[in-house]
Amino acid sequence: MPEYRAPIRDIQFALFDVLDSETHYQRIQAEEASRDLVEAIINEGAKFSEEVLAPLYQSGDEGCQFDNGKVTTPAGFKEAYHQYVEGGWPSLSGDPAYGGQGLPESLSLALNEMINTANWAWGMYPGLSHGAKLTLSQYGTEDQKQTYLSKLTSGEWTGTMCLTEPHCGTDLGLLKTRAEPQADGSYRINGTKIFISAGEHDMAENIVHIVLARLPDAPGGTKGISLFIVPRNEAESLNHKNVNCGSIEHKMGIHGNATAVLNFDDAQGFLIGPENEGLRCMFTFMNFARLGTALQGMVAAELSYQGSLAYAKDRLAMRALSGPVFPEKPADPIIVHPDVRRMLLTQRAISEGGRAMIYYCSQLGDVVHAKNSSEEDIEEAEAIMSVLTPIAKAFLTET
């Protein structure tokens, strides 16, 4: 397998020459994100991705191990996550009020590109926390933010999104998971969720699940869904298991990431956002999840391009049309052939074009969440995102 090399020049070109990030940072009052600081972050992120995460790709392919509800991640994954937390990477774009560094989300996405190209399976563990943090930030109470958002921001805890159930996937109107209110203001959650990425693992001491469920008097269909915070271990006592993993899925790829079946049996949960408006609140998570899916397609194109380029320079077959390029060898490298070069350039065009589109969408997200943005700016950014983000997701995952 070829070594991953972070495309630092391409990333900087997209940020500064194509998208004029310096002006963008000033617009959203993130002046601390100077060019020198951004370049330093990208360079250090590249080192972590190349030297720590990329070498774990093969161990990750051996897969997670499941034993009586406990999931053990592949060799090196847990240690890499601790190094990631110690480096302060999870808090990069977090709210300073809860331990974050306050840098733009778009800069965090540039870091995520390198992490996920180096090792997509590993990158999903901290990646799922991102949407949980955004949902809590927008809809959580102050107590919920102090309890959960601060731990997610530091990386001490990770997060997930729990929608799918055994009998329903995209049709969430059929959702059956129930939430019973308790005298202390909490809820008891009962139901089963499936296909939960990073739903169980040994990399953090707690996992915060963002869960869709129905209240007893809720109307039918999607209008009767509420949103809940359900920690794997009750925050008051991390030794008490609150959510149990029934199994993990066997998949064709990303073996290093545990896709879990989660059983909520009288699990303690807490309402987040208004009753029966959980689906609307969840779309805070889903809008950025779409961008993450588009990123997945783009990083696959980048990694395949790097691998293809190395192979094309090494593989010998026939001679160049203009005559032998390496007459001392029995044949020329296939990179000399026009159709091979066309395929390589197509891969690179998808990667570079996808990067520019995703980075632009992430800048629109900055505008939506910037405290100084006017209602007009937010409406315009959301309108453009609603068109571009699904296009980016569809194009980059299907191409």
Closest CA to 222 of 278, 157, 147, 165: 278
Give the mean pLDDT of 202-227.
95
Given the structure tokens 């900055």, which residue do they identify? 366
Reported confidence tier of residue 390, pLDDT bands at 50, 70, 90: confident
Specify the pLDDT at position 28: 97
**Of the listed ranges 258-272, 337-351, 382-396, the one predicted with least confidence:** 382-396
* pLDDT at residue 45 tops 80: yes
* pLDDT at residue 58 tops 80: yes
CB 199 within 8 A of CB 245: yes
Reported confidence tier of residue 32, pLDDT bands at 50, 70, 90: very high
CA within 13 Å, CB half, 69: 9
**Residue pLDDT, tens place only, 244-288:** 999 999 999 899 999 999 999 999 999 999 999 998 888 766 766
Cβ neighbours of residue 205 under 8 Å, at least 6 residues apart?
156, 157, 233, 238
Q: Going from the N-terminus, what domains does the chain have, and what CATH number goes with each?
A: 8-157 (1.10.540.10), 159-278 (2.40.110.20), 280-398 (1.20.140.10)
**Residue pLDDT, tens place only, 279-327:** 888 876 676 678 888 999 999 999 999 999 999 999 999 999 999 999 9
* pLDDT at residue 389 tops 90: no
Encode burial over 84-97: b for 16+ CB neighbours within 10 A, e otherwise. bbeeebbbbbbbee
Give the mean pLDDT of 11-28.
97
Write out the DSSP string of 23-56: HHHHHTT-TT--HHHHHHHHHHHHHHIIIIIGGG
Greatest extent of the chain over all pairs of C-alpha atoms, in Å: 84
Structure tokens at 8: 């630092």
Give the mean pLDDT of 359-388.
92
CB-CB neighbours of 43 under 10 Å: 12
How many Å is the Cα radius of gyration of the chain?
A: 22
Give the mean pLDDT of 326-353.
96
Specify the pLDDT at position 282: 82
Specify the pLDDT at position 168: 86
Reported confidence tier of residue 385, pLDDT bands at 50, 70, 90: confident
- Strand intervals (E) in the chain: 65-67, 70-72, 157-162, 178-181, 187-197, 206-213, 226-231, 244-248, 259-271
Higher pLDDT, 356 or 3: 356
* pLDDT at residue 70 tops 90: yes
**Residue pLDDT, tens place only, 129-177:** 988 998 999 999 999 999 999 999 999 999 999 999 999 877 888 999 9
Given the structure tokens 């891969």, which residue do they identify? 347
How much of the chain exceeds pLDDT 70, in percent? Answer: 96
Given the structure tokens 């001392």, which residue do they identify? 328
At residue 349, φ and ψ (nearest 5 deg) are -65, -40
Give the mean pLDDT of 187-201.
97
* pLDDT at residue 225 tops 80: yes
Residue 376 CB burial class (10 angstroms; 0-12, 13-18, ≥19): exposed
d(CA 174, CA 357): 35
Closest CA to 113 of 133, 127, 100: 127
Cβ neighbours of residue 206 under 8 Å, at least 6 residues apart?
151, 156, 157, 158, 231, 232, 233, 235, 238
CB 362 within 8 A of CB 105: yes
